[in-house]
Structure 1
């Protein structure tokens, strides 16, 4: 678990992208950019900006060519 994460500080877009990462990680072990764009319905730029923020705050971590969940202190239901 990571200390100091405040999920309430995330935007709706960031939470939407985080949920897509979580869903794809559970299903396939990781999330690729193309799959996240399709899953969220957002533009590539929107997804990239959100991923940058999520990575900077440790919610999501780079994994190979994609992303996975970082340490977190909250649960996501989908």
Structure 2
């Protein structure tokens, strides 16, 4: 049985900030690298890597090689 993931609005401030950085690049059809997320968020690398791992484990993001993209979702992006 698959565990329900929390609502994206329930994410921590750091996780939410990192998720929004990845989502911002997704608007342009791009995946996000760790360096791009660090640049977009101005967060320390360790915090970004931890958040990316957490968001991937929760299913909010998916990873392919060294890039992250949005996981399955049922809403549209309006940026």
Same fold (TM over 0.5): yes
Greater share of residues in helix: 1
Q: Which deviates further from its counterpart, 41-50 or 23-32?
A: 23-32
TM-score, normalised with respect to structure 1: 0.82
Question: Structure 1 stretches of 5 or more lacking a match?
Answer: none
Aligned length: 76
RMSD across aligned positions (CA): 2.0
The within-5 A match list for 1:57-68 is 57-68=58-69
4+ residue runs over 4 A deviation:
73-78
Q: Which has the higher contact order (CA 8 A, sep 6+)?
A: 1
* In structure 1, C-alpha distance between the alignment counterparts of 2:30 and 2:44, rounded to whole Å: 23
